[in-house]
Each structure stands twice: as structure tokens, then as C-alpha cells.
Structure 1
Amino acid sequence: MKNWLSSFVRFSVDRIFRSVVCLICVLAIVGAIASPAYANLKDDRFDGNIFALYGGNGSLVPPKVDLKESLRLGKPAVIAFYIDDSYDCKLYTPVLNDVQAYYGKAVSIIPIAVDSLDLSTPKTNFNTDDEAYYYRGFVPQTVVLSPDRKVLFDLDGKPDFADLDAALRQIPGLSALAPNVKLRNPVTKQVNEVTP
């Protein structure tokens, strides 16, 4: 009887020991493979939604309205072509947030991920109501349209807020700017929230 009990205890201890060793090995392998997640503004790596990470405003994506709806409502539109893994596009996101802070709902801000466009379709198949009609192959690219489809601004690269503001001021009837909204520097470390 004593022999049976000691065999059972040895078997149980051995089984527990092997299970613990196996668990430790699995955790070590997973820990070695997994790297910490981090987002970096100064590279061309995919970090996630750039508007939430670097602009402090994930509400811009997906856009509330498309270009067709914005034009139907008689609102000017700012179309921003971007990709999530571009250094220049990451730096551009606070500019769009500033436009939203100054102009609010008077302007439709339409960020378009270039990856979502059907670029295999010839441009002649698009009409002026389609965002892809205005895309020229660069990111970031910003197009400002008046409610009557007139292109007021079209720039490849990161524009300054002053450039977009000058284009939007050409549109009659836009509300006055909020004077207490401060522009942000996109490369300084700060809490990225647009607050008046």
C-alpha cells in the first residue's frame, strides 16, 4: 500500500513539474517573439489610424459624408488623400483637425485612404462627384472644392493651415473663424485634443 501511494505521489509531482516546465517554455517563446507595440511619428510604418494616434481626432475617419453628399448639401469640401503608413501623412493630421476646429460643420472634411480607391479604373470613368476624380497619385494631397465644384486649392504634400484657410476664405458665406482656437505643432509631444 505504501509503495502504491509513493508511486502515485511521484507520478503526480512529475506530471505537475512537466506541465509547469512546458508552460514556462511556451511563455518564454511567446515573450521572445512578441515585441512591444509602439507608434512612432517619424517613420513610414503602419501604426493604426493616424487621425486618432497623431491628430488626436479619430472622428474624422470614416468621413461623415462623401463628396456627393457634401455637394448635395451645398457645403464646401476638403478632400484629404492619405495613407496610414506615411510620415508626411502622419504630420498632416493635426492640420485637418485645425480646419475642423475653425470651420466646424460649415465645411465637409473628407479624408480618403488611397488604398480604398479603385485606381485600376480609368479616370475618365469618374465624374466630379467622385473623390477619385481629383486624386493625382501623391500623398498627402489636399483638394478644396467650393459647393459649385470649383477647385480652389490642390496641393501635393503637407499644406499649412494658413494655405487651407486662405482657400476656404474665398467661399462666400462661411462662418467667421473661432479666434480662441490655437494651432498645434505636430512634432511636439502633447495631448492631441482640439479644444477652444
Structure 2
Amino acid sequence: MSDMANRPTSTREASAIAKKQLAIRELHWPTADAFLWDRKAHKGFTTIPKTMPMIMKIMDEMTKGAPVSATYLTLWCNTWDNSFVVLNKNGEMANASGFGGQRGEHTWLTRVKKLQELHFVDIKPGRSGPLGNAIIWNPHLVIRWHQGRGTPGLTAASYNALLEHALEIGAQDMTSGDVPDFTALSREVGRDEGEN
């Protein structure tokens, strides 16, 4: 690849791409605006990385037989763009993740614990019980950490596809910067105030 292909997309380039896409959309659907969901006009939105589909694919590959991506997306959609979730509506979140019936909430909580084991989230007790609060770590950093550790299930093909997409969109956290040790980070950042 050339240096030009490896450089991240600048804000100006991203704006130019968005304008071109809007022009093409308006060519094909000139009266569509009234029928589109626009985060600037409607309440109830969250911000997600453009790499989210690939992140979710990687998560599910790492947890063969017990996919966690729907649970992760439900957690993400219950934040207020602050990477924090109060786990006080587990039945609703289980249902949104596709787990219904008598065992739905139990299955969902099992998937949340799996996300914690993989360090995509960290859980602390709160008013809602032992699994009362969740923080969602930067998934790009978590996946880079797993890649560095050689975690089973994280394939070179999927990692490289994520990396290439990140390069295309300028997601520099996939290509540079420190990657924390998430095992230590969960203990250090989340320790109780009374501990030293």
C-alpha cells in the first residue's frame, strides 16, 4: 500500500465524502428527507463507531456457540454517550438482545459476564445487585489487546479486515496509541474507594 492509502481520513475529506454521498442520495431519492431518521432532529440516539459490524462479528467469532454481539449492542444503545450503563432493566435488555421466555434474562446475564471475561465491558455492583453497573471499554483497544495476546477465536482475516476499514475511515485508535492491559485496568480503575 502507498503512504496515501495508509493515512487517516481528515475531517475535511470526511466532510467532502459526506457531501458527495448526500448528492448521490438526493439524485436517487430527492424527497426522502421527511422519511429518514436524523439524530439532529430526533431524540433517542447514541454514537457508534462505523466499525461496529466488524467488531460484533469478531466478538461472536471469539465466543463460538454463545454469540455476545446482540448483548453488546443492547448495552451500547443503553448508554447516554458516556460508555456507562445502569443494569436495572435486565428483562427489557434481554428481550432487546433476542432472549425471551423464562430463561431469557439468565441467558442475557451470562452473555454480559462473557463480555466482561473478554474485557469488552467491566461490571461493578450497585443498587440493582452484583451486576448493577457496566462500563464499555473502547472496543478497538480491546481487540488490539486480544490480538497482541493471541486470543483464540480472533482470526487474522477478521482482525485485518477491521484494521483496513479503520484505516479507510481514519480510526486512529486501531493503529496507534497505547493499549492498556485490560486485566489490570479492570482491577485498577474499578477498585472501591475504600481500597488502597
TM-score norm. by structure 1 comes to 0.30
Kindly indicate which of the two structures has a greater share of residues assigned to helix.
2
